[in-house]
Amino acid sequence: MHVAVYLPLLSGALLGLVAQRLARLLPPATAAWLLTCAGVLVATATSFALAMLAVTLVGEAAPIAALGPWSTTALEAASPVPDATSVLAGLALLVIAVLAGRVAIRRAKAAAAARRLCAALGGGPGDLVVVDDPAVDAFAVPALRGRVVASRALLASLPADERRAVLAHESAHLRHRHHRHRLAVELAAAMNPLLRPLVDAVDYATERWADEDAAAALGSRAVVARALARAGLRAAAADRRTVWGVASMSATADPSRLILRVEALLAPAARRRPGLVCAVAMLVILTVGATVEAQRDSEDLFEDSTVTVAVHQPGPALNP
C-alpha cells in the first residue's frame, strides 16, 4: 500500500486552506459547485483511505480470518501499515460515523421544523409570506418547495427597488437549492475535519450567488448592495440557519462577511478562472485515483496472503 493512501488527508488540508480565497476569487455559482463537489469527493476518499489503512488489522483478527481463505501470519508479514496506524484509522472511522450521524440528525430535525413552519405559514411553493413579527427580517424556508418570509416592518423600510432585491435574493436561495450545498459540505466536514473551512466558504459563496442573481434580476448591482447594507442593519441577533437551513440576506452574525458581500457587489464581477478550477479538479482527480489505487493494493495484499496458504497446504498422499 503506497504513501498515496494518505493523499486525501493532504488534499483536505489544502482545500481547507484555499476555500475562502476560492469563494472570493471565483464567480459565486462556480465557487459553490466547485467547493461542494470537491469537498464531498475528498471526504469520501478520506473515509475509503482510512478503511484501507484499518482493513489489514481487521483481517488479522482470528474471527474475521476464519471467514476468509487468507493466512493471518502471511497477511501480518506482508502488510506495510503499522498496527498503530491501523488502530488510529479505525478509531477515526468511528469518530467520523458519529460526527456524520450528528449532522444528519440535526439537519433532519431542521428539515422537519422547516416543513412545520411552511405548513403554518400557508401559501404555495415559492410564495411570499408577510409577517408582523418585528424580530424577523427576510429569509427563505427550503421545505415543501419553499416559502419566502419577510417582515412587514422590513418591507416598509425599503424603497421599492430594494424590496425587489431582497425578495429576489431569497427566491434565488430556493431556486438553486442552496441548502443542499450547505448540507453536503457539513457532512464532508464531519467526514474530514480538515474540510471544515469549506462550510463557511460555501455559505459565503451561496449568499454571493443569491446576491448576483438578484442583481441580474434588477439589472443593478448597486441597488442590491444598498438593499443588503440597509437590511443588514436590521438583522436579528438570532441565528436562523440552524432552523431554516439557509441564511437570510440580512441575517449574519459576522459583520465583516456582510461588508465583503457589499464590496463584492460594488466591484466588477468576478472573472472566470479556468486554470484555478482545473487545478482544484486535478487535485480531486488525483485524490480519488490514489484511493482507488490503495483499494487495489489492499485487494492484492489479501490475494497474496491467500496464495501463500495454497502453497503451504500439504498435497494428497501417494499410494505405493
Which one, of 56, 35, 51, 64, lies nearest residue 195 by Cα? 35
Q: Are the C-beta atoms of 23 and 36 separated by less than 8 Å?
A: no
Mean pLDDT is lowest, of 10-19, 34-43, 106-115, 220-229, for 106-115
Report which of residues 194 and 127 the model is more confident about.
194
**Is the entire prediction scored with pTM above 0.95?**
no
Q: How much is the average pLDDT of 73-94?
A: 72
Predicted local distance difference test score (pLDDT) of residue 42: 95
pLDDT at 232: 72
Note the pLDDT of residue 67: 54
Q: Is the pLDDT of residue 121 over 90?
A: no
Q: Cα separations (Å) of 179 from 21, 48, 94, 101, 170?
A: 21, 26, 27, 18, 12
Describe the crossing of helices 221-233 and 197-218 by its angle, rounded to 10 degrees.
Answer: 120
Angle of the 221-233 helix axis to the 255-266 helix axis, nearest 10:
160
**Pick from 1, 185, 19, 196: nearest CA to 89:** 1
Asked whether the predicted pLDDT for residue 32 surpasses 90, the reply is yes
pLDDT of residue 244: 40
The amino acid sitting at 199 is V
What does the pLDDT average to over 175-192?
Answer: 93
CB 287 within 8 A of CB 45: yes
Please report how many Cα atoms fall inside a 13 Å half-sphere around the Cα of residue 40, on the Cβ side: 12
What are the residue boundaries of the structural domains of the chain, listed by start?
A: 3-303
